[in-house]
Amino acid sequence: MSLSREQMLVEMGISPIWVLRENEQPAAESVTAPLAVAATGQPELAPPLLQPTAAQPAPPIAPAAPLGASGMADIDTLDWPELARRVATCQACPLCQQRKQAVLGVGDLHPDWLFIGEGPGADEDAQGEPFVGQAGKLLDNMLGALDIARGNKVYIGNAVKCRPPGNRTPEAAELAACRPYLERQIALLKPKIIVLLGKVAVHSVLHDDKSLASLRGKRFEYAGIPVVVTYHPAYLLRNLPDKAKAWEDLLFARRVLREAASPVLPF
């Protein structure tokens, strides 16, 4: 049974339900705030090479020779199928040793929204898709409340593609080893907005270790793409009062996306 938008908001713990009227600007979220972080100087983005697809786990990928760190040099030249093959066979960091499978991501290959989390958990490792299980359900409810869904103008990925043992936080070296794959995903996907879910994603994309509380409600940029920060759904499951803050962050992200799509022209 599908949930209505109001039911999704209740599921997220957002009640009483309120409606953001057109032209209404919540005081805590200044859309005219100056750019907080400059673009990272990444190379020019390459055009996506595949047409949009529905949210389906990637088809089986033919095995290839294992890759070590030295095999990462040409990552920024790969098309999507070759990128997927490289990730599936990657051995560039110790996380390859205990994974069932690498999890590249799932969704529309021409997305408006790119959500980036931390790394696969046990369920994701088993199923080959990010954000399944309870955290995935919450993320789906958050998307549904915005009238979007995974696979429909939405792509979901992670900072690292292989499950850290015991669901521990990925180490800095593991994040660095996997970052070229994430950067290539962003270059190929060319999303209109990136939403970073949690501190690990923030560290990987923005190289910023400040607290999430200090980063929320601000517009950052990566390679010219607006970036917004919010809590990881797994954190929200443990800290229910912060669901309302995550909802504020998503509304802010939607406004940033709309502004990016319709920039105000100077006089």
Size of the site for ligand SF4 (CB under 6 A): 15
197 binds ligand SF4 (CB under 6 A): no
In the complex with ligand SF4, the residue whose CB is nearer, 108 or 174, is 174
Minimum distance, C-beta of residue 67 to ligand SF4, in the bound complex (Å): 8
- Binds ligand SF4 by CB under 6 A, chosen from 178, 206, 229, 253: 178
Judged by CB under 6 A, the stretch of 8-16, 24-32, 131-139, 171-179 that binds ligand SF4 is 171-179
- CA–CA separation, 179 vs 160, rounded Å? 7
103 binds ligand SF4 (CB under 6 A): no
- CA–CA separation, 128 vs 252, rounded Å? 30
Which of 188, 189, 218, 191 lies closest to 206 in space, CA to CA?
218
- Binds ligand SF4 by CB under 6 A, chosen from 12, 14, 84, 90: 90
95 binds ligand SF4 (CB under 6 A): yes
- CA–CA separation, 8 vs 120, rounded Å? 24
Which of 233, 225, 170, 230 lies closest to 196 in space, CA to CA?
230
- Binds ligand SF4 by CB under 6 A, chosen from 14, 162, 187, 189: 162
Minimum distance, C-beta of residue 33 to ligand SF4, in the bound complex (Å): 34
Q: Which two tokens stand for residue 216?
A: 């929320």
List all residues 6 or more positions away from 154 whose beta carbon is below 8 Å from its beta carbon: 55, 107, 108, 111, 112, 113, 114, 115, 143, 148
List residues binding ligand SF4 (CB under 6 A): 87, 90-93, 95-96, 102, 160-162, 174, 177-178, 181
